[in-house]
Structure 1
């Protein structure tokens, strides 16, 4: 199943497959998400979904059951 991923604030949209790693989707779309440990513990890759949930992109994948997912990128000045 294909899900449309909408990256903010750059307003970039890309289609992705359910279960595809979010970092791979972002890379394919030309969107940079900072990373650190790649295990979710350093929180460098923290992003916010449209419903307010905060996730770590390095350990997250495209979720099932949705036609579109909006991901708000915000930068942490320490990274």
Structure 2
């Protein structure tokens, strides 16, 4: 995937292009997870990190681990 990025953005964020790509990928994974489009396991695999690490980062950005529904509970406990 290719995203155009002005040099001013990199300078303003104090990151290189590789770090910006990692940041955008994490933000996209968290957003898709929060919307219920991908699972935490799929997001973690995409980001090449342990699922628990992804969940902590997602929750720091306001994601809920469970929506308190029976379906969510069964899905999450099935993975244990």
| TM-score range for the pair, normalised by the shorter chain length | under 0.3
Greater percentage in helix: 2
Greater percentage in strand: 1
TM-score, normalisation: structure 1: 0.27
TM-score, normalisation: structure 2: 0.27
